[in-house]
Structure 1
Amino acid sequence: MKVCAATLAVLMGLSVWNPVAASERKEFCVFDVAGAGGFVYRTLQDYQRKAVSSGVSLAMIPYTDEDEAVADFKAGTCDIVAVTDMGVRHFNSFTGSISAIGAVPYYEDLRVLMHILSSPRVDEHMSQDGYQVLGVAPMGAAYLFVNDRSINDADALKGKRVTVFEGHHDARHMLEYIGAVPVDAKISNFARLFNTGQADISYAPAAAYELLEMFKGMGDTGGIIKYPVGQVSVHLVAREGEFDDRFVRRSRKIMSRLYPEAMRIVRQYEDSIPAERWVDISKDAMVGYQEMLREVRIDMQQATHASGMQAASVYDDNMMTILRKVRCYTNPGALECSAEDRE
């Protein structure tokens, strides 16, 4: 049927794009801070196997530098690139908004969101400026690693030095909003800044405790605040037209179905952290964190000064509305669900 349709199109003088054959090699560049032995790379090997069964052969290439992976993808070296929620902001603001500060506080919210992102209902938002997102999978919640366990509520963040990633304008805006001191960092050096005492606080998934030895920066007095300030995720990006629509839809389904296995590994990392390292916070403090983070997001969206507008520009309004609806679906009693200033 496909051959007949292509032949007919040629006879009619129409341009035709031929979907990739299973035997054709496609370069799949994967960023994982730990390289080929890392959690992300190993998780995406399952994606690679399922892609083969869908008629697409992928050769995986590990990268430990996300900027290098993005540059090679833009240069055409890679046909697909796997990047973090920060990296995907180069290509798609819709899925890049998943990491909005405090916008996905619980794993149940994330589970619902992953299902939504595999649905055809959001197809129009998954393509921007000549690029397509071929799916999203979780990497775990981002927690605050602190060198002082008394930093256990939003007010205690004032005056503290906090690492902020290059280009993470929304995080920088939040820190300035609450009176914290941003410390410029990259994925390649944020753990070192924390571990050497150049920052009081750093945000990262639980896996960083072991993989990046962030327990060193905690010393005897520090810990991990048991409240997610965001979700870290991996996004697959390809140029539009690189793969046919059938595979694009299949790819998004494959990625969404990685959720259970990815979360199993995430929870293994979280469970492996000694119980005494976690800093439990009260229910009131959790509500305070969530409301403070919501106020920061709204402040950004209403900002008229340059830094606020730059921060707000990384958020896609459609995704912010979806995230608010997801939060109110899983937690209908939340203050924001009845607030007038909704996202």
Structure 2
Amino acid sequence: MIRLWRILLITFLFSGPAWAAPKTFCVWDVVGAAGDFFNLMKTYQLEALNAGQQIELKAYRNELRVVEDFRAGRCDMIAVTDLQARLFNRFTGSVSAIGAVPYYDDLKIVMHILASRRAVRRLDDGEFKIMGMVPQGGMYLFVKDRNITTVEDLRGLRFTVLPNHKDAEHMVEFVGGKVVPAEVTNFASLFNDGQADVSYAPAIAYEVLEMYEGMGPNGGIVRYPLGQFSMQLIARSDEFDDKFTMKSRQILADMYEASMKINFRYERTIPEERWIDIGDDAIAEYQEMLRGVRLDLAKQPDHEVGGVYHPAMMSMLRKVRCHTNPGAVECYSAERE
């Protein structure tokens, strides 16, 4: 009887999931290991373990270093912004296209589509694959002058622009602004120090990067997102089997509400008087300007700024916008994405 009990005990102890070899997961968070996104990835780590995959988290505050370490083989999987994701998958990297996802209702639909099986073939290009995406909220214009409410008001202003952010650079040139080269590590300080008049950033930057300092008494944040910011998990195509890949994408899809809750918390921390509300006419003007930027980008030669966006993603995003806002000019225009 005792022998039988021992056999049953051993069977129970070893009947859990067979864990695959540990993988190094390099995660960028502007705050590092203390950041909200890194903490969210701890939940991912536990869910992955439940699915039989051991994950070792490694925090980074320098996003470019994450990419370098991934290319050098020091990371099996990485979490980076959609801007850096474009280096590995132009389709998912195009989610952050200028003005392409203006409202959170649109974002929820887009994330649902990307988590579905119909998007699978776009998430693996044969060399790298997307292991999932997590939305991080809207990207807003932080300005030093509250009177900046129309597209014309942007002419002549200095904008911080990150490396390889070709679409943002093109937008600045499109509206007659001036590019101030910046890095993820210093764009906020350039704005705060007065070296730039406008900066394009998520709500978290107001408090965490202290961008309220650069606004002064007359600055604010235009309450109209010029794009959506997401974090994307990327691995080499042969790093994880298909079963865990699908599980990973589902884990991240299920994190939508938790991630957006963090974003809304940061948006609420911004004092109401700091928000700049613009009228419907100004919004329509912004939408047409941003559409003009996207269409202009599509016409450029690849050796300049062409090829920034994936045509299939741009077509999908247009359909989503026209689903939620069928009266928009682009929905009946002959020139469409």
Q: Do both share a fold (TM > 0.5)?
A: yes
SS at match of 1:179: coil
Shift of 1:23: 5.0
Q: 1:252 aligned to 2:246?
A: no
Aligned with 2:217: secondary structure? coil
TM-score (norm 1): 0.91
CA distance in 1, matches of 2:48, 2:157: 46
1:58 counterpart = 2:55: yes
Offset at residue 48 of structure 1 (A): 1.4
Residue by residue over 1:107-166, the C-alpha shift from the partner in whole angstroms, topping out at 9 and shown as x without a partner, is 111111111111121111111251000111111100000000111111100000000111
Describe the superposition over 1:47-90 as per-residue Cα deviations: whole angstroms up to 9, x where unpaired: 11111111111111000000111111111111110000111111
Q: Shift of residue 21 of structure 1?
A: 5.2
Q: Among residues 113, 116, 119, which one is paired with 2:113 in the alignment?
A: 116
Name whichever of 128-137 and 258-267 sits farther off: 128-137
Does the 8 Å CA contact 1:301/1:312 hold for their aligned counterparts?
Answer: yes
- Residues in 1 aligned to 2:19 and 2:327: alpha-carbon distance in whole angstroms: 50
CA contact (8 A) 1:117 1:252 kept: no
- 1:154-208 deviation line (CA, Å, top 9, x unaligned): 1100000000111001111111111010110110110010000000000100000
Task: Write out per-residue CA displacement over residues 250-270 of structure 1, whole angstroms, 9 at most, x where no aligned residue.
Answer: 111111111101111100000
- TM-aligned CA deviation for residue 312 of structure 1: 2.6
Q: Return the alpha-carbon distance in structure 2 between the equivalents of residues 312 and 264 of structure 1.
A: 35
> What percentage of residue pairs aligned between the two structures are identical?
50
- Whether 1:147 aligns to 2:141 is no
The superposition leaves residues 311-335 of structure 1 with CA deviations (integer Å, 9 ceiling, x where unpaired) of 2311000111111111111212211
**Could you tell me which amino acid in structure 1 is paired with residue 311 of structure 2?**
D
**1:301 & 1:143 partners in 2: Cα distance?**
23
Aligned to 2:86: 89
Distance 1:303 1:73 in 2: 30
**Two-structure CA RMSD over aligned residues (Å):** 1.3
Q: 1:235 aligns with which of 214, 232, 241?
A: 232
Provide the residue aligned with 1:325 in structure 2. 319
Moved over 3 A (4+): none
- Structure 1: runs of 5 or more not aligned: 1-19
1:39 to 36, 41, 45: 36
Consecutive unaligned residues in structure 2, runs of 5 or more: 1-16
Q: Distance in 1 between matches of 2:87 and 2:315?
A: 21
Contact 2:297/2:308 (8 A) holds in 1: no
Match of 1:247, SS state, is helix
- Give the greater-gyration-radius structure (CA): 2
Per-residue CA shift, 1:215-240, capped at 9, x if unaligned? 01000010000000111100000001
Residue 85 of structure 2 contacts residue 92 of structure 2 at CA under 8 Å; is this kept in 1? yes
